[in-house]
Amino acid sequence: MTVADVVASVCLVAGSFLCLTAGLGLVRFPDVLNRMHAATKPQVLGVLLVMTGAVIRLVGQPIVWMLVLVAVFQLLTAPVSAHLVSRVAYRRRHVRRDLLLVDELGVPAPSGSTAAARADEPAEGPERAGG
């Protein structure tokens, strides 16, 4: 193994580890917004690391540009989808208010808020089966 291979391996393993972290956070965190943090954020760095590792391994072949493109797209698109999902989550009140230390946005819950929350699924019932 050359030095480049070692660097690439470290990048690949670290990136994969961050993907595992995303899964773990997704299972353990209490509400949608927290899960958004877990799912999208370590993964951005994870994808960047994996792509870096792959570029190091595959350098010299024309197709590495595609990997760069994937990384750039990931950087551009992850915030957009995260924002869209989190905004909908907040407005549907899929947020555990009791776990918030501060809530300065404070959209007042409308009178029918429980009904509105039930329109989809419960924001956070007691964790089912194995929670």
Residues numbered 45-84 forming contacts with other proteins, rule: CB under 8 A: 45-47, 50-51, 53-54, 56-58, 61-63, 65-70, 73-84
Q: How far is the CB of 83 from other proteins (least distance, A)?
A: 6
Contact between residue 68 and residue 48 where contact means Cβ atoms under 8 Å apart: no
Identify residue 43 by its one-letter amino acid code. Q
Please select the residue that binds other proteins; options are 4, 107, 109, 114, rule is CB under 8 A: 107
Is 102 near other proteins (CB under 8 A)? yes
Return the residues of window 5-44 that contact other proteins according to CB under 8 A. Answer: 5, 8-9, 12-13, 15-30, 32-44
Q: How far is the CB of 130 from other proteins (least distance, A)?
A: 8
Of 56, 42, 72, 73, give the one whose Cα is nearest residue 12: 56
Q: How far is the CB of 3 from other proteins (least distance, A)?
A: 14
**Residue 82, CA atoms < 13 Å, CB-side half-sphere:** 18
Task: Output the CA angle 15-17-21, nearest 5 degrees.
Answer: 115
